[in-house]
Structure 1
Amino acid sequence: MLNARFHPAIAELPAATWDALGGGASPFVSHAFLHALERTGCIRPDWGWQAHHLALYEDERLVAAAPLYLKGNSHGEFVFDWSWAGAWERAGGTYYPKLLNAVPYSPVPGPRLLAGQGARAPQLRQALVRAIHAETRRLGLSSAHANFLEPQDLVAFGGEWLARSDVQFHWHNRGYRDFDDFLATLKAKKRKNIRQERAHVQASGPEILMRDGASLEPDDWRQIHALYAATFDAKGNHAALTPAFFAALGELGEQVQVACAIEGRRIEAMALFLQDDSTLYGRYWGSRIELPGLHFELCYYRGIEHAIARGLRRFEPGAQGEHKLARGFVPVRTHSRHYLAHPQFRQAVREALVHEAHAIDDYVTALDAHAPYAGTCP
Structure 2
Amino acid sequence: MSEHEVEIRVLSSLREIAAADWDACACPEASEGARPMDPFTTHRFLSALEDSGSVGPGTGWQPQYLTAFIGDQLIAVAPMYAKSHSQGEYIFDHNWAHAYERAGGRYYPKLQIAVPHTPATGRRLLVRPGFEDAGTAALLQGAMQLAQRNRISSLHMTFCTEAEAQRGEALGLMLRKTQQFHWRNDGYTDFDGFLASLSSRKRKNIRKERAEAQAFGGSIEVFTGDDLKPEHWDAFWRFYQDTGARKWGTPYLTRRFFYLAQERLRDDMALVLAGRDGRWVAGALNFIGAETLYGRYWGCVEHHPCLHFELCYYQAIDIAIARGLKRVEAGAQGEHKLARGYLPTPTWSLHWVGDPGFADAIGAYLNAEREHVEEEISVLTDFGPFKKIRIEEQE
- TM bucket by the smaller chain? over 0.9
- In structure 2, the CA distance between the partners of 1:376 and 1:146, relative to structure 1 (3 Å rule), is farther
Give yes or no for contact 2:13–2:63 (8 Å, CA) kept in 1: yes
SS in 2 for 1:62: strand
Equivalent in 12, 25, 38 of residue 8 of structure 1: 12
Equivalent in 253, 270, 276 of residue 263 of structure 1: 276
Q: Does 1:230 align with 2:216?
A: no
State the partner residue of 2:146. Answer: 135
1:100-137 superposed Cα distances (whole Å, 9 cap, x missing partner): 0000000000010001332x312310111000011001
Alignment of 1:212-223 (within 5 A): 212-223=224-235
Q: How far did residue 254 of structure 1 move?
A: 2.5
| Cα distance in 2 between the residues matched to 1:358 and 1:288 | 41
| Cα distance in 2 between the residues matched to 1:217 and 1:181 | 33
Alignment of 1:182-197 (within 5 A): 182-197=194-209
The aligned amino acid for 2:214 is Q
Give yes or no for contact 2:222–2:271 (8 Å, CA) kept in 1: yes
State the partner residue of 1:169. Answer: 181
Alignment of 1:189-338 (within 5 A): 189-235=201-247, 237-250=249-262, 251-338=264-351
Q: How far did residue 283 of structure 1 move?
A: 0.3
The aligned amino acid for 2:146 is E
Q: How far did residue 60 of structure 1 move?
A: 1.8
- In structure 2, the CA distance between the partners of 1:235 and 1:181, relative to structure 1 (3 Å rule), is same
SS in 1 for 2:235: helix
TM-score (norm 1): 0.96
SS in 2 for 1:46: coil
Q: How far did residue 216 of structure 1 move?
A: 2.2
The aligned amino acid for 2:332 is A
Q: Identity across aligned pairs (percent)?
A: 41
Q: How far did residue 63 of structure 1 move?
A: 1.0
| Cα distance in 2 between the residues matched to 1:233 and 1:99 | 26
Alignment of 1:52-201 (within 5 A): 52-118=64-130, 120-157=131-168, 158-201=170-213
State the partner residue of 2:42. Answer: 30
| Cα distance in 2 between the residues matched to 1:292 and 1:200 | 7
Give yes or no for contact 1:270–1:285 (8 Å, CA) kept in 2: yes
Equivalent in 9, 30, 49 of residue 61 of structure 2: 49
Q: How far did residue 376 of structure 1 move?
A: 5.6
Q: How far did residue 355 of structure 1 move?
A: 1.5
| Cα distance in 1 between the residues matched to 2:249 and 2:173 | 31
The aligned amino acid for 1:225 is W
| Cα distance in 2 between the residues matched to 1:152 and 1:236 | 32
Q: RMSD between aligned alpha carbons? A: 1.4
Structure 1 unaligned residues grouped into runs of 5+? none
SS in 2 for 1:168: strand
1:146-199 superposed Cα distances (whole Å, 9 cap, x missing partner): 000113322331343111011100011111110001000001111000000111
| Cα distance in 2 between the residues matched to 1:200 and 1:293 | 6
Give yes or no for contact 2:165–2:175 (8 Å, CA) kept in 1: no
| Cα distance in 2 between the residues matched to 1:364 and 1:248 | 38
**Greater Cα shift, 168-177 or 207-216:** 207-216
Q: How far did residue 264 of structure 1 move?
A: 4.6
| Cα distance in 1 between the residues matched to 2:320 and 2:6 | 41
TM-score (norm 2): 0.92
Q: How far did residue 221 of structure 1 move?
A: 0.7
**Greater Cα shift, 299-308 or 262-271:** 262-271
Structure 2 unaligned residues grouped into runs of 5+? 28-35, 391-395
